[in-house]
Copies of this chain bind each other. A is one copy, B any other.
Amino acid sequence: MLNASICTIGDEILIGQIIDTNSSFISKELNTLGIKVKFMISISDDEDEIISNLERCINSSDIVIVTGGLGPTKDDITKAALAKLSKSESSHYDPGQYEIIRERCNRRGIELSQLNKDQALVPDSCKVLTNNHGTAPGMLFTIPKEGKASNTLLFSLPGVPYEMMGLMPKVAEKIKTEFYIENIYHKTITTFGIPESILAKQIESWENELPKEVKLAYLPNPLVGIRLRLSIYGGSRERSIQLVDSLLNDLKKILGDSIYGEDEESLESVIAAFLRKNSATLSTAESCTGGKIASLITSLSGSSDIYKGSVIAYHNDVKFDLLKVDKGLIDKYGAVSKECVIEMAKSVRELMKTDYAIATSGIAGPGGGTTEKPVGMLWIAVVGPDFCETKSVVLSGDRLRNIDRFSSEALNMLRLKLGIQLI
């Protein structure tokens, strides 16, 4: 099976200042193409490190994808290292990329500096993949493997995720013209509500009887729940689909409504799809989640069809003034209470004239907890045309994790109430 390695370059990754999201995006794309990623490595902006690690990548992989170190600034040295590695003795200005750089500067009213121009300078040994979203071109080098007859395709892409993503279709096209590609089939289903060890116990006998070409992985995530991924490497796509479908049918019988979606689906996306199908709308009233639920829903393209808005009632005054929560009620029960979230949800549903509403109030921490109402405590209400239900949970985590898990708990409560599950 065709394999690849990914190398991301940049001191900012190694000192932990940025999280490398490029490797993940690239590996997803390569997997879709049927290429197995053997390893990903992140290294510093150091010529020796770049060359020695890329040599290792080249000798162990059919395809190498490198990102980063192509910026206009002095700390970026990938291009020089690649020229050396590909034994290129001279370089030239790529006319296509040069034109894009000139145009970008023009449009922004920026003078075309030497730094800008030099972004179009490439080693003669490479083929250019024009970058329409930025100034640094993608480059393709064909490099012989040490002691072998075959070559490795090495792609160098900009480190800016948006620019790298724009170039990936061109990378895929080049790979497809150069190699015959075997299948990889992945299918993921998404569960929410069962802790990992209990889930593992529940599906133990199903897991034990999986055919040996099928690999299972558990992927927990605070926003999504636990995803279960089945992978089949090689074989025909049709057979893989058939086999996985039949295995998933058995799994659905075991896990029931805990399974809510597949592949990239999230709690918010399955809720949005349900609402769209039923021409229904949703609003939210968020205290402790502070806009996270709104933000998750509005990240979905087209969410304006089904989502009207939110009142982020972070301060109690907003609960009183905008959501008309009774002050006496908060004095008596507190803002983190069943009574408060019921009022919040009913009120926002009415104010925004929606079919459904979710309200949250809790203590994300680190401060603010008491013995009775500890950090990690959350009250949720979901209301609809003919129901009003509440739930409380106590979670353990830091502030950001609590906000994420509060949000997914609230979305999951609505999801269950709407009867959404994978059938």
Residues of A at under 8 Å CB distance from B? 10-21, 23-31, 36-45, 49, 53, 71-75, 108, 110, 113, 115-116, 133, 135, 160, 162, 165, 186, 188, 195-198, 200-201, 207, 215-221, 227, 229, 231, 281, 284, 286, 289-295, 297-299, 301-304, 307-315, 317-318, 321-322, 351-353, 365-367, 396-401, 403
Contact = CB atoms under 8 A, between A and B. Distances in A.
A317 B353 contact: yes
A110 B196 CA distance: 12
B42 A15 contact: no
A399 B15 CA distance: 29
Most B CB within 10 A of own CB, among A15, A41, A315, A353: A15
Contacts of A113: 197, 201
A367 B10 CA distance: 35
A15 B26 CA distance: 9
A200 B19 contact: no
Contacts of A292: 291, 295, 298
Contacts of A196: 71-73
Instruction: List the number of copies, as a whole number.
Output: 2
B116 A197 contact: yes
Contacts of A53: 39
A295 B293 CA distance: 9
Nearest to A400: B299
A162 to B, nearest CB: 6
A24 B229 CA distance: 25
A286 B308 CA distance: 12
A221 B290 contact: no
A195 B110 contact: yes
Most B CB within 10 A of own CB, among A21, A290, A403: A290
A13 B40 contact: yes
Contacts of A229: 11-12, 15, 17
Contact of A19 (B24, B216, B281): B24
A201 B119 CA distance: 14
Given A74-B216, A295-B291, A398-B162, A186 B314 contact: no
Nearest to A218: B73
Given A14-B39, A40-B41, A313-B309, A197 B318 contact: no
B31 A24 contact: no
